[in-house]
Homo-oligomer: A and B are copies of this chain.
Amino acid sequence: MSTVTEDCGLRERKKRETRSAIHRAALDLVEEKGYAAVTTDAIAARAGVSARTFFNYYPSKDAAVLGTRPEDLDQVAARIETQPADETPLDCLRVAILDLLAPSTLDRALRAQRRRVLLGEPALAPAMIGNNIRVENALTAALERRLGVAPGAALEPRLTVAASLAAVRACIEHHHGSSGGRDGRDLNASIERAFDLLAAGLR
C-alpha cells in the first residue's frame, strides 16, 4: 500500500532501477551540457541501456528528463480525497500541490537537481506544462470525487484546479525572473500567498 517500493521480484526491481537510471542520466547530462546538446543515445549510453530500450521506458526525451511517475499522481489524488471534510477545495489543492512539489520518495539531492534543471531549462517548459495537463485531469477527477459531482458536470472543480496550477506556475515563473535567493523557502511563500489571493478574489 505504500507508494514507495512494492511488488519486489527481481524483474520489477530491475525495471525500477533502469527507469531511475535513465532519469538520472538524463538529468546529469542536461545539467552538464544543456537540453539541446544532449541526445537520447547519450542518455541511453550513460544509463547503460540500448538506444531502443530508452524508448521502452520513456516516450520522449522530455519525459525522461521530467521523469514523471504515475504513482505521484495517485498519491496527490489520494491526498485530496482524504483531507478533512471542512477544508475548502482550494485548501485541499494547496496542500496536495505543495506535497507534489516535494515528493518524499526522491532523495534530497536528486530532488534539488531536478528542480534546478527544470527551472533552468526554458526548453522544458512546454513539456512541464504538457505534463500539467495530466496533473490537471487527475486533480480534477479527484476533486470531483471528493465533492461527489459527476465528472465534467460542473465547471468549478476544473476551474479551481486550473487556477491553482496556473498560480504555481506563475510563482515559478516569477521566481525565475527575479532569480536571486534560495529557491525553496521563497517559492513556497509565494505559493502560499498566491493561494490566498485566489481565495480572496482577484482584481
| A residues with CB within 8 A of B | 88-90, 125-127, 129-130, 132-133, 136, 151-152, 155-156, 158-163, 165-167, 169-171, 173-174, 177-178, 190, 193-194, 197-203
Contacts and interface: CB of A to CB of B under 8 A. Distances in A.
Contacts of A201: 198-201
Contacts of A199: 201-203
B152 A177 contact: yes
Contact of A165 (B89, B161, B166, B190): B166
A162 B155 contact: no
Contact of A156 (B136, B177, B178, B197): B197
A79 to B, nearest CB: 18
Given A174-B152, A194-B155, A202 B160 contact: yes
Looking at A152, A166, A167, A199, the one whose CB has the most chain B CB atoms below 10 A away is A166
14 contacts: A88-B203, A126-B129, A152-B174, A152-B177, A155-B174, A155-B193, A159-B170, A159-B174, A159-B198, A159-B202, A160-B202, A162-B173, A163-B167, A201-B201
